A and B are shown apart, each in its own frame.
Chain A
Amino acid sequence: MRKKIKIYLPFLENEFKSNLAYKGSFYLFMLCYLFSPFINYYLWMAIYGSTDSGSIGGLTRDEMVIYVFMIYVTTEMVFVGISEYIREHVVEGSVVMNLIKPMDYRMSLISQAAGTMVYRFFAPTVFVWIGVEIYKACVLGMGITPLSNILCYMLSLLMSFLIYVLFDFCFGMIAFITTYMYGMQLIKDALISFLSGQLIPISFFPEAVGRLFEFLPFSSMVYTPVMIYLGKYSGAELAFVLGRQAVWVVLLYVTGSLLWRRITRRLVVLGG
């Protein structure tokens, strides 16, 4: 285990460093990304303003504010795409260089993604998070989120990250078959934002649809940790949603291994 960490840790560090190398682009992107929670915020406030009942889909207006911004915090750290790397490696043929080394391709990609996650945690997610807490305590008067919720959220977040990257690895395998997948990436992003609760909380859907969505792995990527943070689960239910995440981690890990074994058998290397 220690040896494994020693092998893959440099990938994490390397990714962290190269993220720092392109500061300009990062701040621009961050600005764009920050638009979406604010647009969501105003949209939801308009919806809540036009309804008489205090809560929709089990969420009050104030909880919705927290939901919108915690979705931002969560997705920033969870949605670290590795299929883009795979696509790049396949298109440029540099996947060869990863295959001639005695290391696991998936592990190196996940380590890279972890580097980006750590970077995003510091810039700027943690500050948005602190901002949410201050707003929550001072303006909404809801008090600070209890530590137990935060710890459960962190655990859930970590599994969400694994679910996302493991899923994205499986998705990235398409690149080996089609060698082109930009369009499919757009479809994937749209589907995930819808199915994961990023756009609309899953509790807003009709019950049958909501159940189906909760059954899919996508709700475990974003919706679960945010609801944990909001304190919507407790006791057995909390254990169940965390367990469901763990099951998805295992399932996607196994699926990825099987796919990888099949794909490498029919691998095509582009360019020389």
Chain B
Amino acid sequence: MIKVEHVSKEFVSAKKYQGLSGALKGLFSREKVHKMAVDDISFHIKKGEIVGYIGSNGAGKSTTIKMMTGILTPTKGKCLVNGIDPNKQRKKNAQNIGVVFGQRTQLWWDLPLSESFTILKEIYDISDEAYRERIAFLNRVLSLDDFFTTPVRNLSLGQRMRADLGAALLHNPPVLYLDEPTIGLDLVVKDNIREAIKEINEKYDTTVILTTHDIGDIEELCSRILIIDKGQLIYDGSLAELKETYGTRRRVTMEVKDTKEAAAMPLGQWLGKPEDAYDIEADEENSSIAVSFDKNQLQVSEVIGCVMQHMEVRDIQIKETELAEIVKEIYNHGMAKEA
């Protein structure tokens, strides 16, 4: 469905200097700053997939999306969306895609939503019958009825986002790009939007590419994720695999009588493992200790069993690493490829 092959995008801008003297210097300087926003990225996306495209701010997500929609031309490499090169045949490609940029609206600011939809109907050349069917469907999943005749400028952010999503789907595009579709939304609206995306994907087999900073979006929607950092693709695989590979840390919290004694316990000796295989933290206030370790080196049952043999344990909590933490870790340290 979507093929991205060795795509790079370089931005060139005039160099800026600091301060007033810098501003003057800038007038005469011809120095240019080159910035690789996207650096040699390749991936393929199959029909009907929901792919989460994540990365820290400025990592190059939006730039990639813009290249796939045909707005930006790659400096190097090639994209193919549904067999069409979006940069060569922008208008033809536009028929095949729906786009929502969460921070912008594609609706006409002064017009009621209903009129915006009528204009889009003409632009995308949708037949009356198909239009009626789509509106009925979108009404059901996004409940557009509540504000269908309100001018777009008077819509709340949540309503506007639903309206925008509706507008992007009106012509039943096989590919849907969502650039932060849940930004700034409350929990209920977020949930509605996610449900709607899921339903659309199931009913029409729409391919969805979604960028987001909300890990909830990813966990609920995406079967596959791509992680980009500093313009480079650092992870491409399923969500489960990511958790399997990077979410191997386990944290067992145990409530004990004497935290000091517990914190000093020679767990390594008892288990016959090296000291650096685990980490013990004591929490005096809650009179508990937390043991964290890699589940490939130690087993949860092993650790709990061993501790319980030596002291009285009142309560136990086991925590897996959350996806948010994995992602945070990846953003902070880049990708440890060997891991």
Contacts and interface: CB of A to CB of B under 8 A. Distances in A.
A3 B125 contact: yes
A17 B110 CA distance: 9
A234 interface: no
A5 to B, nearest CB: 10
B91 A100 contact: no
Interface in A221-267: 264-267
A97 B119 CA distance: 14
B94 A101 contact: yes
A102 B124 contact: yes
Interface residues on A, range: 20 to 34
Contact of A14 (B70, B111, B123): B111
A100 B94 contact: yes
A102 B92 contact: yes
Contacts of B101: 96-97, 272
Contact of A267 (B72, B105, B108): B72
Contact of B11 (A17, A264, A268): A268
Interface of B, helix, strand, loop or mixed by DSSP: mixed
A97 B106 contact: yes
A212 interface: no
Interface string A1-27: 001001100110010011001000000
A96 B72 CA distance: 9
Interface string B94-111: 110101010111101011
A222 to B, nearest CB: 31
Given A267-B73, A268-B11, A99 B90 contact: yes
B118 A10 contact: yes
B122 A6 contact: yes
A100 B97 contact: yes
B172 interface: no
A93 interface: yes
A103 interface: yes
A102 B103 CA distance: 21
Contacts of A145: none
Contacts of A11: 119
Nearest to A100: B99
A109 to B, nearest CB: 14
A3 B121 CA distance: 12
Nearest to B92: A102
Interface of B: 11, 62, 66, 69-73, 87, 90-92, 94-95, 97, 99, 101, 103-106, 108, 110-111, 115, 118-120, 122-125
Interface of A: 3, 6-7, 10-11, 14, 17-18, 21, 93-94, 96-97, 99-104, 264-269, 271-272
Given A99-B90, A101-B124, 5 more contacts: A17-B111, A99-B70, A99-B71, A264-B73, A264-B90
